[in-house]
Amino acid sequence: MKHRRGFVSNSSSDSFILATNKTAKQFEKWLLGVYNAIFETDEENLDRMMKINEINEEGVKIFEEEIKEFYDSEEDIHCDLSYIIEEAKEKNLIFLRIDSKESNSIPWKLQEILQDYNSFRMHWG
């Protein structure tokens, strides 16, 4: 069983960090439109699948630390999100953290779209 701050999982879950010019609400509205178009549904929100929050640079660094804690290792785990921080500073972008709510709850096609952003994906196991 995997443990992480405020979260316990006996299956898979994912988190993404990305930089965008959209607020969390705007991004969710856009992603919901994509989801409904791909899956030909009329979902009203993505609440059952994921949580989207705006974070600051410190939040990105906390995410890096969570990853290192997850692996519970003294080794230098490759988790350098400086490229996202630098892009956000250069372009005055907002950081978003997207966490799946339930095991495997973000459909793979949406994960592919999120990965097309300049994002970092963490698969929690």
Q: Which of 117, 86, 124 is nearest to 17 (CA)?
A: 117
- The whole-angstrom distance between residue 104's C-alpha and the CA centroid of its chain comes to 13
Tell me the whole-structure pTM to 2 decimals: 0.83
Give the per-residue pLDDT at 75.
59
Separation of alpha carbons 19 and 103, rounded Å? 24
Question: Which of 14-18, 73-77, 101-105 is predicted with the least confidence, judged by mean pLDDT?
Answer: 73-77
Q: How large is the average pLDDT for residues 15-20?
A: 93
Within 10 A of 29 (CB to CB), how many other CB atoms are there? 13
Q: What is the DSSP string of 88-114?
A: HHHHTPEEEEEEESSTT-S-HHHHHHH
pLDDT for res 16: 94
CB 68 within 8 A of CB 77: yes
**89 or 118: which leads in pLDDT:** 89
Give Cβ neighbours of residue 5 (< 8 Å, ≥ 6 apart). Answer: 66, 69
Nearest to 102 by CA among 4, 10, 5, 1: 10
More confidently predicted of 73 and 30: 30
Bigger pLDDT: 56 vs 5: 56
